[in-house]
């Protein structure tokens, strides 16, 4: 029986980096959660315990913080690309690098109608996400950037139906032409290239997501996801593929009839679990090869 080392990667997960820009009296803040993973020929580290091929995860962490100062002026995508390129270009056994970033946004505190210079309130729960993958050097260089948003919690109290579904002997669900629809959306979009107006594209796509959710009359969450993907691709040539995962946060009309009280879609039980989990990919039929763009660091195992 032969035993072989399979795919592997290693890195520092969830470096919490807070960068304050304080050149002006009005400070700026960038609050990140940065994960690194290196891929390459690290076989002997596993089979022999030979660390000569291993750039320590601690070094990766130090680089993440150093680059926050030296490469932290632009967008979070540029910062991720700089980190990934650095690891691939400077550590010989590293064939590929994966950088995953979550950006937590902050709103300025408003005092007497004036935005404060150096105090903020966390905005949320939504989080901007970036996943950068860089592989190879010279002519073999390949790079992928995936932008995204997660924990984008949205709800509409009308304009959503779910009826005409398959039924069998276990079906108890009543069809509805008017229901509450809510989700905590995770959406990720793969870019065709790496020359992108990153900080303009993110708010534009986020707006398409929430606007579509609000204005599109939904016959099912599945249809809403497809519509969101379609509209992102229609507006943004630089995006080639959109992946979404949407827990259906069920709102069940509460039975007030037991108390002789009417309830016409007014009082709901917001159910926590279980939830429907609706997931879809919408892409261009001529999208370039995704390569390792979707191979994650965290979430590597199911």
Ligand X SMILES: O=c1[nH]c(=O)c2[nH]c(=O)[nH]c2[nH]1
Asked if residue 297 belongs to a known ligand binding site, the reply is no
Asked if residue 107 belongs to a known ligand binding site, the reply is no
270 touches ligand X (CB under 6 A) = no
Nearer to ligand X, 99 or 180 (CB): 180
Please give the DSSP secondary-structure letter assigned to residue 119. E
Using CB under 6 A, which residues numbered 204 to 233 contact ligand X?
A: 220-222
Which stretches within the chain are classed as H helix?
43-47, 57-70, 76-90, 198-215, 221-235
> Which of 27, 46, 57, 59 does the annotation list as catalytic?
57
Nearest to 18 by CA among 29, 8, 27: 29
162 touches ligand X (CB under 6 A) = yes
250 is catalytic: yes
Nearer to ligand X, 219 or 290 (CB): 219
43 touches ligand X (CB under 6 A) = no
188 touches ligand X (CB under 6 A) = no
Q: Least distance (Å) from ligand X to the CB of residue 91?
A: 46
Q: Least distance (Å) from ligand X to the CB of residue 161?
A: 9
User: What is the rounded CA–CA span in Å between residue 50 and residue 62?
Assistant: 22
Asked if residue 248 belongs to a known ligand binding site, the reply is yes
183 touches ligand X (CB under 6 A) = no
Asked if residue 215 belongs to a known ligand binding site, the reply is no
> Which of 86, 156, 236, 250 does the annotation list as catalytic?
250
Report long-range pairs for 25-29 (Cβ below 8 Å, ≥24 apart). 25/117, 26/117, 26/118, 27/117, 27/118, 29/106, 29/120
Determine what percent of the chain falls in helix, strand and coil, rounding each to the nearest 5. Answer: 25, 35, 40
Member of 276, 283, 288, 296 binding ligand X (CB under 6 A) = 276
Cα angle vertex 142, ends 54, 137, to 5°?
A: 55
User: What is the rounded CA–CA span in Å between residue 111 and residue 132?
Assistant: 38
Asked if residue 222 belongs to a known ligand binding site, the reply is yes
288 touches ligand X (CB under 6 A) = no
Count the site residues for ligand X by CB under 6 A. Answer: 8
From residue 124, how far is each of 61, 77, 151, 270 by CA, in Å?
A: 26, 20, 8, 20
Asked if residue 67 belongs to a known ligand binding site, the reply is no
**Is residue 32 within 8 Å of residue 76, measured between CB atoms?**
yes
Residue 135: strand, helix, or coil: strand
248 touches ligand X (CB under 6 A) = yes
Q: Least distance (Å) from ligand X to the CB of residue 212?
A: 15
Please state the residue numbers annotated as binding site for urate. 57-58, 162, 179, 222, 248
Question: Which residues make up the interface to ligand X (CB under 6 A)?
Answer: 162, 173, 220-222, 248, 276, 278
Instruction: Please identify every residue annotated as catalytic.
Output: 12, 57, 250
């Amino acid at each position: 029986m032969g035993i072989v080392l399979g795919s592997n990667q290693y890195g520092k997960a969830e470096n919490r980096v807070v960068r304050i820009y304080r050149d002006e009296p009005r400070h700026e803040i960038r609050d990140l959660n940065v994960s690194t993973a290196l891929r390459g020929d690290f076989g002997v580290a596993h089979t022999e315990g030979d660390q000569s091929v291993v750039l320590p995860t601690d070094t990766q962490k130090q680089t993440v913080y150093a680059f926050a100062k030296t490469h932290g002026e632009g967008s979070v995508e540029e910062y991720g690309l700089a980190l990934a390129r650095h690891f691939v270009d400077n550590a010989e056994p590293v064939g590929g690098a994966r950088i995953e970033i979550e950006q937590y946004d902050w709103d300025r505190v408003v005092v007497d109608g004036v935005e404060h210079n150096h105090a903020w309130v966390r905005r949320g729960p939504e989080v901007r996400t970036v996943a950068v993958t860089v592989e190879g050097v010279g002519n073999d260089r390949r790079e992928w950037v995936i932008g995204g948003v997660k924990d984008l919690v949205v709800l509409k109290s009308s304009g959503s139906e779910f009826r005409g579904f398959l039924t069998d002997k276990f079906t108890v669900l009543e069809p509805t032409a008017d229901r509450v629809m809510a989700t905590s959306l995770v959406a990720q979009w793969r870019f065709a290239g790496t020359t992108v107006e990153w900080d303009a594209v993110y708010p534009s796509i986020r707006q398409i997501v929430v606007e579509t959710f609000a204005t599109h009359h939904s016959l099912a969450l599945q249809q809403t996801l497809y519509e969101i993907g379609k509209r992102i691709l229609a507006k943004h040539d630089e995006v080639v593929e959109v992946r979404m995962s949407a827990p259906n946060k069920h709102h069940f009309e509460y039975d007030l009839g037991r108390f002789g009280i009417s309830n016409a879609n007014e009082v709901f039980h917001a159910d926590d679990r279980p939830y429907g989990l609706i997931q879809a990919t919408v892409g261009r039929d001529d999208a370039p090869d995704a390569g390792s763009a979707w191979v994650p660091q965290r979430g590597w195992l199911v």
